[in-house]
Structure 1
Amino acid sequence: MGTTILVTGATGNIGYYVVCELIAKKEKVRVALRNVEKDRNKFTDLDVELVEFDFLHTETYVKALEGVRKVFLMRPPQLAKPKKEMKPFIDKMKEVGVEHIVFVSLMGVEKNPIVPHRKIEDMIQESGIGFTFLRPGFFMQNLNTNHLEDIALRNELFMPVGQAKTSFIDTRDIASVAAVCLKEEGHLGKKYTLTGAEAIDYYEVAQLLTETLGRKIEYKNPGILEFRKTLIKRGIKKEFANVMTMLYVLTRLGTAEKVTTGVSDLLKRAPISFKQYAIDHQEEWNR
């Protein structure tokens, strides 16, 4: 047992798997939660320590970081001003002697200075703390979270991507890579672009879901403005609708199709396939 590893974003679809992977590797894990009482039951079967933590409340930093040398860092999606909302925590990590941050960033971030992830990467590098940046492509799990209703209730994939391809990655693979980087030597200063083994378009995604779910799932491919308008009409907050629209516009331009060997290089196995992901999550769409 080494020192404690702090995991942020632990209720999300990467962080939770990071916790499980680290426990399997016999690491001592502290889970940072904004609301311990609310989320406690998610971790009842796991041998972890739970701690109250909020990026926006600096008074929660001390207890969260006590005895911690390594941190798994996720940016909460609602925090869009990194300098104001995340830099104080990075400064505190530096102050208490954190030696290694594994931060989940974004594929293509090196060419995109405007996204929050890039600003966070820059702040971490400027802090002088050892780092590993994971730059994953598009999450498969977006389809059973953000697009759950489209598939479950409307039998459709509703995104304005045209025929562009996406190298979808399963978040469980991102978590496995993160655990390897936190546990093993040799990953300091590295920036890993992570994708699935192939890039597929949404017509192929619809076909794979159709085969797995046993009902016809149709790829609708709306226009960009129609997409944004429909999201807002369905009750999605305007800010989030704008982010999603922007993301899919970029995907449409071919930014999501790059395929790397990052996952197989680091895990010594093939990435989880889209077919496998669909089988593993079919109950959520069929509920």
Structure 2
Amino acid sequence: MDNKILLTGITGNVGSAVVKYLKSIKIDFIAGVRDIERGKQQDDSIQYIHFDFQDTVTYETALHGVKKVFLVRPPQLTDVRGIFIPFIQKCKEVGVNQIVFLSLLGAEKNPFPPHHKIEKAIVESEIPYTFIRPSFFMQNLSTTHAEDIKERDDLFISSGKAKVSFIDTRDIGEIIGRTITEQGHKNKAYTITGSQAITYYKVADIMTRVLGRKITYSNPSLFKFRKDMIKRGIKKDFATIMMILYLTTKLGMANHVTNTAELLLKRKPRTIEDFIKDYIDIWQ
């Protein structure tokens, strides 16, 4: 394969959507995973290779012959200098000619999340890049916050009255697949949002209607949110990052709406109502 593609993070919401899209258009790829046998148990139709961000020995074989990389930062890894810069340098060394990086809405202006430093390191490497900067994932409601909704009928999220331009990870995955396989996306940064911005009060109203029971938005303080997340087993560093992200929404940094998703998808992105209807079984 002339444009051999390495995918990281395929078990996540976005990564799995990238896999689904590439399969749908019959594009070959390899998936870098820490546990190949576990990967095969989940999907034995994928070509796997052993890869671990924290083990530099795995970089050489995983990147052999690779020209394009889809890069996802595992949430628990925050050491940009010790982990991601060496990986990016290895990409440069072996001749990778495009890194598609799953970044963060506003990462170019927000120095706190690791995504900011990773973007900077990729630019400095001079490897052609595509930065995907999505707004908040709709799928956060079906993963991180699913238990609160299912067991307590509550959106336990600290975003005040701010509006959020939610995007479905299935749409993000297709966009990433397109930027990897289509021409014209090198050295571009795309801010990806849904077609409207709404409050979590509105999300609760839509869930109430679709699920057929009252869902509330409790809107805890940022510190109560972080404290409770840690009590539930979320690591402190990740709970802090979540808190900072919700602070950015309170400050109005997630209310921006672009038409970029529609342009790249060549159709309207999914709405929050589409999402809730598709995932309804998770909260029943």
The TM-score normalised by the length of structure 2 is 0.97
Partners of 1:28 and 1:230 lie apart in 2 by: 43
Provide runs of 4+ in structure 1 moved above 4 Å. none
Counterpart for residue 251 of structure 1: 249
Within the alignment, does 1:4 sit opposite 2:37 as a pair?
no
Within the alignment, does 1:69 sit opposite 2:67 as a pair?
yes
Deviations 1:182-209 (A, max 9, x none): 1111111111000000000011100111
Contact 1:74–1:104, Cα closer than 8 Å, also in 2: yes
Gapped runs of 5+ residues in structure 1? Answer: none
Q: CA deviation at 1:2?
A: 4.2
Q: CA deviation at 1:225?
A: 2.3
Partners of 1:225 and 1:28 lie apart in 2 by: 45
Q: Partner amino acid for 2:220?
A: P
Q: CA deviation at 1:234?
A: 2.7
Deviations 1:129-183 (A, max 9, x none): 1111111011111111110110111110011211111000001111111111111
Counterpart for residue 150 of structure 1: 148
Within the alignment, does 1:107 sit opposite 2:91 as a pair?
no
Counterpart for residue 23 of structure 2: 23
Partners of 1:219 and 1:154 lie apart in 2 by: 11
TM-align CA RMSD: 1.2
Q: CA deviation at 1:270?
A: 0.3
Counterpart for residue 131 of structure 1: 129
Match of 1:82 among 72, 80, 83: 80
- Report which stretch shifted further, 226-235 or 100-109: 226-235
The 1:122–1:172 alpha-carbon spacing in structure 2 relative to 1, beyond 3 Å, is: same
Partners of 1:158 and 1:114 lie apart in 2 by: 23
Counterpart for residue 271 of structure 2: 273
The TM-score normalised by the length of structure 1 is 0.96
Partners of 2:112 and 2:281 lie apart in 1 by: 38
Partners of 1:39 and 1:278 lie apart in 2 by: 28
How many pairs does the alignment contain? 284
Deviations 1:86-113 (A, max 9, x none): 1111111111111111111111111112
Contact 1:4–1:27, Cα closer than 8 Å, also in 2: no
Percent identity for Structure 1 against Structure 2: 50
Gapped runs of 5+ residues in structure 2? Answer: none
